Amino acid sequence: MIEGFFTNKKNAIGLSFVLAVFIMSLKFYAYFLTNSKAILTDAAESIVNIIATAFAMYSLFLAEKPKDHDHPYGHGKIEFFSSGLEGFLIILAGVFTLIPALNTLIQGNAEIQNISNGIIITVAVVLLNGLLGYVLIKYGKKLNSIILEADGKHLLLDAISSVVLVSGLILVQFTGIQIIDPIIAIFLAIYIFYNGIQILRKAVSGLMDETDFDLLNKLIKIINENRKNEWVDVHNFRVKKYGADIHIDSHITLPFYLSLKESHDEVSHFEEIIRKNTHHNLEVFVHSDPCMPECCAYCRMKDCNKRTSEFKREIIWNAETLVTNQKHFDY
């Protein structure tokens, strides 16, 4: 039942939004009880989480819309915008929450009160954020959803921040040194800022179609494990991510004497091999090239009566060789 709930991305992000509102309320309540600037820093970051999660809900709705005339590749890239917005807002939260912490550090006022209550509330926040963050990352990877994964990382970041916060409050409780609180708030703000940059960078790389080498190497491994001798060469192998959808372009070199139907069957088999061995929503376009005499040097077909030269070497199919936009005559 739990598995079915979280495999629906809208259910997962909806639960995240409800929890974000509840946790923000807890954090601000803890701040009003304690007057802790570190807790205020953590609470302000929760406002970012609510805004980002709300936009993520809209993004998931848009991303699941079918392709149309204006969006022939679908609407999946909205997920990168959502993740980018979340990263940007996290950066802003990190920057602006430095101000009260620095002010307290310089002026040395605002004594912390009711520390025990603040610790109890913050521990509850750690447990809630940590559990849901782990679950969202797990299902974000399983469903290839950058939105769920980014939101899960945000929640884990929040949980880690709260662990540091609790440690600081305990130190203040036992030592009575009030300056520990703004110092921890400053370090939390810097940590939040750094992680916001990391999330933003990943979103920008997706929008710029930066190569995901982990995904590329997984796809190349699938091709190598199912490699056929008729596939003389593969090159110009490109992978783009559109949210949870994957778009693949590739050129494949086939024996020149195959009929049009035979060539089509080989291309279809090549596409099907990739599809059935991945969990992604795939769109695959393969362009077939006829082999040339220069290909004989690395063609693995042993019974080819059209061969003009002996087999000399095998082309190693990896991320370096397959992405090149040329046949491997000079490899």
192, 161 Cβ separation under 8 angstroms: yes
What are the pLDDT digits (tens) for 153-176?
878 877 877 787 777 778 877 887
pLDDT exceeds 80 at position 265:
yes
Mean pLDDT in residue range 85-94: 79
202, 81 Cβ separation under 8 angstroms: no
169, 36 Cβ separation under 8 angstroms: yes
Predicted pLDDT at 254: 95
Write down all domains in the chain, each with its CATH number in brackets: 2-207 (1.20.1510.10), 213-322 (3.30.70.1350)
Helix (H) / strand (E) containing 253: strand 245-254
Average pLDDT of the chain is 82
Q: Tell me, what DSSP letter sits at residue 176?
A: -
Distance between CA 173 and CA 119 in Å, rounded? 10
Provide the total of helices (H) and of strands (E) in the chain, helices listed first.
Answer: 11, 3
Global pTM?
A: 0.64
Distance between CA 165 and CA 187 in Å, rounded? 10
